[in-house]
A and B are shown apart, each in its own frame.
Chain A
Amino acid sequence: MSEAVTPLNGADFEGLATIKDAGLSGMITLRGDLASKEVKAAVKKAVGLGIPLQRQALSGQGTAVLWMSPDELLLLCAYDEVAQKIAALEKALEGQHFLAVNVSDARTVLRISGTGARETLAKLCPVDLSPGAFTPGMVRRTRMAQIPAAFWLDDSGVFYLICFRSVADYAFGALKDAALPGGEVGVYG
């Protein structure tokens, strides 16, 4: 077995916000009929969580479920538990029309925290990130500068951003640039 590493290899930057490689993360794309009792039961079995509402996330102990589209969820878990979770999904969904794929090595996760986190993201994404509009538990898939990205906000005010592994360096550089001291806008107070 080769040793898995993230593309950013633990990079971090402290500026108006703290941008950090979130480390290896298990990610499973699950597509199917999100309204069906079978998918509901399978997700419960695999990660112990329910089906989130449109553009919402649910999180548990080391696991999370993100609503990605009307027929797509992203399941997060420990990196080395992916195979076992997929096996559980496949068993629970046998005979159903579904897709469960390990995308852990195709994506990477960045952690954006600190008082400037909202502003840093808002400089790069066409999204209203004011505290009243973007609240904890929300997920947004959007454009970050020149790449597609998805992020969600946890209850402690930390953003987690997912992008393709191949553009991890670009994502980190863009976020770092947006968080450089001296570039404060102060739009969110």
Chain B
Amino acid sequence: MLILTCPCCGVTGEETEFHQGGEAHLKRFGPGSSDDDFHTYMFAKENPKGAHFERWRHNNGCGKWFIMARDTVTLEVYGTYPAQTHEPPKNIRDAITAKRPGWTWRDFA
């Protein structure tokens, strides 16, 4: 069970009040992009053992989307931050480094 805090309304709740919405920080490739780029965007997802970044929605609450960093092994929630963020904030990256020194995730470290 994940316990997380919604950065939009401040509620700290458990995961059944929320819904996961796929990988975060994706760069989208649509019409006009190369087949390779589109294939990678569509199908090549991260599946880490450790820190992971996902989009979540507070579907039984304020209804807003946000991003969560969590650990796929320990289920620890490293933190949540607004959806309008292009890379994980420093406090989130520091929280991950404290538990998983040397972590990487796509271009982030």
Contacts and interface: CB of A to CB of B under 8 A. Distances in A.
Contacts of B26: none
B106 to A, nearest CB: 29
A124 to B, nearest CB: 12
Contact of B9 (A55, A127, A143, A148): A55
Contact of B60 (A55, A70, A141): A141
Given A126-B14, A126-B16, A142 B9 contact: no
Nearest to A143: B60
A70 B11 contact: no
Interface in B14-33: 14, 16-17
A54 interface: yes
Contact of A127 (B8, B13, B62, B63): B13
B10 interface: yes
Contacts of A126: 13-14, 16-17
Given A68-B62, A148-B59, A143 B8 contact: no
B89 interface: no
A69 interface: yes
Interface residues of A, number: 13
A123 interface: no
A142 B13 contact: yes
B93 interface: no
Interface in B51-109: 59-64
Nearest to B14: A126
Contacts of B9: 54-55, 69-70, 141
A111 interface: no
A107 to B, nearest CB: 15
Interface in A41-71: 54-55, 68-70
Contacts of A72: 62-63
A72 B17 CA distance: 19
A69 B63 contact: yes
11 contacts: A55-B10, A68-B62, A70-B9, A70-B64, A126-B14, A127-B13, A142-B13, A142-B60, A143-B16, A143-B60, A148-B59
